[in-house]
Structure 1
Amino acid sequence: MRSRGCAKFVARTGAAALVFGVLVSGAFAQAAQTSPDPAAAAAEAAPDQGAPSGQKGMAGTAIDRVKQAAKQAGDILTRVPCLAPKGTSRKMGSLPHVARKLIDGQPVVIVAFGSSSTQGYGSTSPAHNYPNRLAARLRRQYPTADITVINSGKGGEDAPEMMARLKSTVLDAKPDLVIWQVGTNAILRNLDPVETGKLVEEGISAIQAANSDVVLVDPQYAPRVNERGESAGKMIKALDRLAELRRVGIFPRFEVMKDWHERQALPFDNFVIADGLHMNDWGYACFAQLLGDDIIRSVGQIKLGVTVPADVRAYRPM
């Protein structure tokens, strides 16, 4: 009799553990898929205030786990501060379309266009990729604004493949701003920087013709890119010249990440995963923070009338 009772207890315990596991994993999956901001996911999953205290049950425990995950995500930049490089020139041009929409209280659509580092490879969840982090940063700054950030990153691509889907995944969304991360896979695939530049210029022209602001993001400073230093240098210079020629903004990701490693003395594994190429949660979070700060400053300049022409780049300290 005793052995049968023990067997029943074990069976019930195992079933409860299985249900708890399903609830927890389901809660995490829902938070990652439906909310770009981990804190928002936790808030949406808040328990019914009318429930008796001390009777959370398995669902309540699962919700607590989601809240804890959100807190840990928020702690990423407090454990290692996200510092901007000093003594460098940043080249974020004015963003008139985004600024006008925010001033007029109209919805703002941003498309993050790129490859795997836009898609978020290396992050521990979709909530931690850079487009979702950027969306959270901008929504904190403009809490009453309707801001949508669309992740149009696709791993392994560079300018040739991106141009093939420019209309369907970027222009058809009618964005006010396109953040175009490009050039890293071109370096790794030994593509000609000149030919890459021609394709990117063609894409910029199409984006500008659709009345959208443009910001380019150059390759990352990481071991696998640094192994091809000469090619990386040519690509970065080509994109910089192109941004100046077409009078669009450029976020110097290579320069920023180099500063993390060389001046701030952060080991690569603090911001790059084990593949030596893609950023981790901290890297994406800091990248999104600095990019968001630049966008906010550029929009502020337009509001103040400091830089009004749409096609003039503003050079300023970071």
Structure 2
Amino acid sequence: MSFHYPFRACAVLAMAALAAAAVVPAPARAQTANAALGDARADAPKSEAVKSEAARPAGAPPAGAGSTAAVQHNPAQKGIAARAVDKVRDIFARVPCLPPKGAGKSMGSLPHVANRLIAGQPVMIIAFGSSSTQGYGSSAPEFNYPNRLAAQLKRQYPTSDITVLNRGKGGEDAPEMMRRLQAEVIDMKPDLVIWQVGTNAVLRNLDQAETARLVDEGIARIQAAGSDVVLVDSQYSPAVNAKSEGNSRMMKLLGKVAELRKIGVFPRFEVMRDWHEKQAIPVEEFIISDGLHMSDWGYACFAQLLGDDIIKSVGQIKLGIAVPSDVRAYRPM
């Protein structure tokens, strides 16, 4: 089953846009339009509200910690913005990004981020993890999840100074990440750390109890430095599903750590499984040919749903709504 909507190659661009709008459900059309307009504003030369680090291009060999890359404003910027808008519009026209049904709970409280936004202070977010944070599989750096998340937060908080740093390094799991935690995360004094971890431990048959212990230690250090933390679990993909028993055990261990530390978990595995099993989206729409890493659409939809949860959590605090500390994640089941 394919969700690619047919377009005539000879049709003019305007007709293609109308055709896309006609076949996408109303909520998805609005969502697509918002994403496209937001991206145009995100890349506009006069706007510097969010600075997002560009990850290493897809397929490049993993390197050490990336450096911050602010948007460089030049005469070609408008063309770059236009191309980005067209690409994102195409991504969501082919397969609309819809949240899992029944996903009503927030992933928990993010007090440091919320309080800084309320006070009008700069906010720094660090995306920490391995290749799916780095962006392996995306067609360009702007389509990895940290950059897509930055664009979404910019749309939501246009007057805020929000920086999203990509600290993903392909091939790593908890042992390697712990060695660079201090210099590349804690020393940056982030307000929020989004930590994607555990998949490589499953794929390599590492000691999962030791992995969980290291993650617990890392979270404790991040919290002691005054940062909010959100964990991101494994991706639903053929390579991970082939290790289903180990993956289930790893996710349970991470869930226990999150419960102990009273932090949020974004249930990426369940969200992606919902795409396939309940929304009938073919796996090849969100996973590339290596059977593990996400496509442009996969990264974009993951970032959007993660961003929605962050925005909801921050909004509840800004409105004075008490969020129970044991609410760690929404459950799409």
Question: The TM-score by the shorter chain falls in which range?
Answer: 0.7 to 0.9
Give the match for residue 273 of structure 1: 288
Q: 1:279–1:244: structure 2 CA closer, same or farther, 3 Å change rule?
A: same
Give the match for residue 167 of structure 2: 152
Superposition deviation, residue 71 in structure 1: 2.5
Superposition deviation, residue 65 in structure 1: 5.7
Q: 1:185–1:90: structure 2 CA closer, same or farther, 3 Å change rule?
A: farther
SS state at 1:110 partner: strand
Give the match for residue 300 of structure 2: 285
* 1:94 equivalent in alignment to 2:109: yes
Any conservation in 1 of the 2:267–2:329 contact (CA below 8 Å)?
no
> Counterparts in 2 of 1:63-212, with a 5 A limit?
66-75=80-89, 76-87=91-102, 90=105, 92-212=107-227
Pair member with larger Rg: 1
Any conservation in 2 of the 1:216–1:249 contact (CA below 8 Å)?
yes
Q: Distance in 2 between matches of 1:220 and 1:150?
A: 21
Q: Distance in 2 between matches of 1:315 and 1:279?
A: 22
Q: Deviations over 1:42-95 (max 9, x none)?
A: 6439xxxxxxxxxxxxx99x7786355223222122331111111357561100
* TM-score with structure 1 setting the length: 0.79
Q: How many residues of Structure 1 are paired with residues of Structure 2 in the alignment?
A: 267
1:159 is aligned with what amino acid? A
Give the match for residue 44 of structure 1: 45
Q: Deviations over 1:165-184 (max 9, x none)?
A: 00011001100000000001
Q: 1:217–1:69: structure 2 CA closer, same or farther, 3 Å change rule?
A: same
Superposition deviation, residue 229 in structure 1: 0.6
Where does the alignment leave 5 or more consecutive residues of structure 1 unmatched?
Answer: 1-36, 46-58
Superposition deviation, residue 203 in structure 1: 0.3
Any conservation in 2 of the 1:89–1:315 contact (CA below 8 Å)?
no
Give the match for residue 313 of structure 1: 327
Q: Deviations over 1:205-234 (max 9, x none)?
A: 000000100000000000000011101110
Where does the alignment leave 5 or more consecutive residues of structure 2 unmatched?
Answer: 1-37, 47-73
1:70 is aligned with what amino acid? A
Q: Distance in 2 between matches of 1:67 and 1:316?
A: 33
Q: Deviations over 1:108-162 (max 9, x none)?
A: 0000000000000000111000000000000100000000000000000000000
Give the match for residue 20 of structure 2: none
1:116 is aligned with what amino acid? S
2:201 is aligned with what amino acid? A
Q: 1:154–1:213: structure 2 CA closer, same or farther, 3 Å change rule?
A: same
2:307 is aligned with what amino acid? G
Q: 1:251–1:195: structure 2 CA closer, same or farther, 3 Å change rule?
A: same
Superposition deviation, residue 308 in structure 1: 5.8
Q: CA RMSD in A?
A: 2.2
Give the match for residue 55 of structure 2: none
Percent identical residues: 65
Any conservation in 1 of the 2:191–2:226 contact (CA below 8 Å)?
yes
Question: Which range moved further: 124-133 or 63-72?
Answer: 63-72
1:288 is aligned with what amino acid? A
Q: 1:189–1:142: structure 2 CA closer, same or farther, 3 Å change rule?
A: same
Whichever structure has more helix as a proportion of its residues is 1
Any conservation in 2 of the 1:112–1:151 contact (CA below 8 Å)?
yes
* TM-score with structure 2 setting the length: 0.75
Q: 1:80–1:217: structure 2 CA closer, same or farther, 3 Å change rule?
A: same
